Amino acid sequence: MSERIRVNEEMRTLLARTTRGRAGFEDLVVVPVFAVIVALILGALTMLATNVDLATIGKSYVALLHGSVGSLNALSETLTAAAPLVLAGLGLALGFRTGLFNIGAEGQLLMGGMAAVMVGFSLPELPAVILLPLCLLAGAAMGAFYAAIAGYLRAATGAHEVISTIMLNLTSYRILDYMLRQPWVQKEGRADPISKSVPEAAELPRLLEWLDPNLRVHAGLFLMLIATAFVYWLLFRTKVGFEFRASGENPDAARYAGMRSKLIIVLAMATAGAFAGLAGANQVLGVLGRATPGFSAGIGFDAIAVALLGRSHPVGVLFAGLLFGALEAGGRQMQVDAGVSIDLIGIIQALIIVFIAAPLLVRAIFPWGFRRSRDKAGGQP
Amino acid sequence: MTARAAPAPADRIDTGKQRQARIVGFLLIGLAIFTAFVFGLDAAGDATFRLSRPRDPFALPDLVVPAAPFLHIAAALLAFLGARQFLRGGIRWTALSLGIGLAILVAAFLVWATAGKAFSLTGMLQATVVRAVPIALGALAGVLCERVAVVNIAIEGMLLAGAFTGALAGSVIGGWGGLVSAVAIGGLFGFILAALVVTYRMDQIIAGVVINLFVLGLTSYVSSQVFAEYRALNNAPVFRSWKVPVLGDLPVIGPVLFNQNIFVYGAMVLVVTATYYLFHTRSGLRARAVGEHPRAADTLGINVYRTRYIHVTLGGMVAGFGGAWFTLGSVGRFDENMTGGRGFIGLAAMIFGRWHPVGALMAALVFGFADSLQQKLALLNTPIPSEFLAMAPYIATIIVVAGLIGRARPPAADGKPYVKE
């Protein structure tokens, strides 16, 4: 009996998707905008609660804006911070579309970044034309492999990918710790865990260095744009992408239609991991130049938020990643200008996702912003 | 899964078990070879395990084990178990021989690592219990939530919130006040999780991830914005250990179990209470019914939503108590992200313990043992990198989840929202 109801509900959401109109607009634009505004207001209340006076709160939000889009340097920082978020977020979005909840982007990112660094410093005599693509490829391949473990386990044994990716994340931290202490990885003459630096030929070239050597925006920007276009093409213009989406929408229907569901799971996980690995490679080749413990800095988890905020659509992910990159870059400025800790950004980001992921909650807070609709709001009148 | 053609279900189950038995046998033989050739070859001298400290009222003599003979016997035993398992493939024996095999392996490892040296066994067991406490409490929180079919990824965040509140409230109103506040805040986050997933039908995993991010952001923010300036707000009293009168004087088990602080006793009491509650009371049965088949429970007049709210809030309170261990039970000071993934290990312990409070406690003890062993390895100068030992619990969890060695079955409705008709 419950099965029939579930199918009914799925049919209803499927029908709702086909009828483009105000509902789609609400979901795609109104909810995210509300979410960002409410999160900023609640962030201000948090500051107020921790004894920050009103003038400083105003100053910090001005600094947030200024530090994210206020100058060429700010834009450069925003784009630099956005690139890995978008890359990893695209992979996660692809997984979500396939019905896979991959929490392991952090681990895949670490492993991918580590592979890219190793290839980079092992082959220093190669020219940039060969070495850079090789490093990126190594990162993507390693990330894909690491994610495919979870995908294979899901497909072959039914082990839930949430648990296995969490465990693979924790494992990857230890693997990184171990690798960074190996003599052929560790930087010469250093006692702390830090890898050798990648040669210049393996670095993603800085784009605006000729204007000002402090502008950090690098070729990862193109990587981000190409990846967005690629994922769009893959998801909506190819047979594989259709199979991904079909398995995500309705696994049973996909299987009855003759799609090989197990292969699709492994493929989708591997593709998602490849993007996370690429994000890791982007960080070490474009920004850091080497691997250190925890160099991922939580990007893999923020990317989950980015994918959710972008509604698992490549273009949405691009904009969500830019927003989170802006928050990141602006948050640093806020810390400098107003003396408000950058950890506030973490609170704002978490609140944004709450409101995005629970549209019912947003509707409950802002009943006037939405058309009264029975089918969308579920229990709401 | 269900659509796969099955010629004879009974046969298939049987061959599955047989295959599993053979895998275990193969594994045990591998471990025997490992013990004989990796541990056995370079072991020399005696391993001395100190069982009591000089001032203990009942002193036990040191346990002295000659390393080489012990390791050869251990290898032989492992080989015997493995061969038996491989040839006979006894279905009932699989779990038992695996457990015995792993215990032998750990003993062999300890003897090999200590050969020619001395080492306080009691001290390590004591550290094991202490380290197991937050993991066990986190796992217990998970059990309470998942038994009513709410997946709780937010254990980590709840532990962190408990640790933070313990430090803040403990500094202001004293240790007991801090403990009560930590439990209350844990309960609050449990309630928030319940509200998000039950009332607002948010995806349970997303809700958990969000709570983790939010708590991490909030506690880090306050810690760097406020604690850095007002140190007095982050200086809580620590609960000292309290010795149970007679039992605390017993050798080995006295210091390990009966000379600990309130968190260790609290964890034991909570595990016993939760087991009794879940499996021997009427409301416990109802809670499990909600986790297995909410619609049937609803039809029988159980309020599914209220049951979920209550248990997830209770789970949050348990996690808040476990979180307070980090500050009120050990250092008295909050540091950013000080739980360091213990909540996720708690999640692993819950799965390992097969969604049962006692099982979760046992798994937490195993993980605590691995944790304290990892600390001691540095002292003993073994060639095995401590990182590999630190990975072991995670890999073991993946193996259990994948069902390679025994399958753990979650509550049937786990993770699914329930919509009342």
The reported pTM is: 0.84
Q: Is the pLDDT of residue B12 over 60?
A: no
Per-residue pLDDT at B279: 93
Q: Among B156, B234, B394, which would you mutate to test the A interface (most chain A Cβ atoms within 10 Å of its Cβ)?
A: B394
Q: Rounded to whole angstroms, how far apart are CA atoms A152 and A164? A: 11
Tell me: the pLDDT tens digits for B50-84? 777 666 666 677 777 777 788 888 888 888 888 87
Q: What is the token pair recorded at A373?
A: 């609709």
pLDDT in tens, B379-405: 666 667 777 877 877 887 787 777 655
Q: Contact B255/B241 with Cβ under 8 angstroms?
A: no
Instruction: Tell me if chain B has a CB within 8 Å of the CB of A357.
Output: yes
What are the residues whose beta carbons fall under 8 Å from the beta carbon of A232, sequence distance 6 or more? A314, A315
pLDDT in tens, B268-306: 999 999 999 999 999 999 999 998 888 888 888 889 999
Residues of A in contact with B201 (CB under 8 A): 358, 360, 378
Least CA distance to A162: which residue of chain B?
B205
Band of residue B5 on the pLDDT scale cut at 50, 70, 90:
very low
**Confidence band for A54, pLDDT divided at 50, 70 and 90:** confident
Distance CA B49, CA B72 (A): 19
Mutate to test the interface with B, among A9, A161, A162 (most CBs of B within 10 A): A162
- Neighboring chain B residues of A168 at a CB cutoff of 8 Å: 394, 398
Cα–Cα distance for residue pair A187/A290, rounded to 1 Å:
9
Which is more confidently placed, B29 or A138? Answer: A138
CA distance A125 to chain B (A): 32
Q: Rounded CA gap, A227 and A196, in Å?
A: 28
Structure tokens at A176: 């990184």
Decide if A365 touches B, using CB distance below 8 A. no
Q: Is the pLDDT of residue A237 over 50?
A: yes
Yes or no, beta carbons of B196 and A361 under 8 Å apart = yes
Chain B touched by A260 (CB under 8 Å)? no
3-state secondary structure at position A185: coil
**Pairing of the two strands B259-260 and B242-243:** antiparallel
361-400 in chain B: CB under 8 A from chain A = 385, 387-388, 390-391, 394-395, 397-398
Task: Report residue B265's pLDDT band, with 50, 70 and 90 as the boundaries.
Answer: very high
ipTM for the complex shown: 0.80
**B224: nearest CB among A167, A343, A349:** A343
Is residue B133 within 8 A of residue B260, CB to CB? The reply is: no
The whole-number pLDDT of residue B115 equals 75
- Measured between CA atoms, the residue of chain A closest to residue B156 is A166
The residue with greater pLDDT, B123 or A76, is A76
Q: Which residues of B touch A304 (CB under 8 A)?
A: 206, 209
* B329 or A225, which is more confident: A225
CATH 1.10.3470 spans which residues of chain B? Answer: 127-401
Task: Considering only the beta carbons, identify the residue of A164, A174, A305 that sits closest to B390.
Answer: A174
- Extract the tokens encoding B110: 């300890």
Burial of residue A291, with CB atoms counted within 10 A of its CB: 0-12 exposed, 13-18 middle, 19 or more buried: buried
Taking the C-alpha atoms of residue A186 and residue B385, their distance in angstroms, rounded to an integer, is: 16
* Average pLDDT taken over every residue of chain A: 84
In sequence order, what DSSP letters do the residues of A5-18 get, joined into one string? HHHHHHHHHHHHHH
- Asked if the Cβ–Cβ distance from A178 to B217 is below 8 Å, we say no
Q: What is the pLDDT of residues A277-320, one digit of tens each?
A: 999 999 999 888 888 888 888 899 889 888 888 888 899 899 99
Query: Is A40 an 8 Å CB contact of chain B?
Result: no
How confident is residue B344, by pLDDT bands cut at 50, 70 and 90?
confident
CATH placement of domain B127-401 = 1.10.3470
Q: Does B347 touch chain A (CB under 8 A)?
A: yes
Asked if A153 has any chain B CB less than 8 Å from its own CB, the reply is yes
Which residue in chain B has the smallest CA separation from A177? B387
A345: which chain B residues are within 8 Å (Cβ-Cβ)?
A: 217
Nearest to A378 by CA among B202, B306, B192: B202
Residue B160: the pLDDT is 95
Contact assignment for A301 to B200 by CB distance below 8 Å: no
A-B CB pairs within 8 A amount to: 146
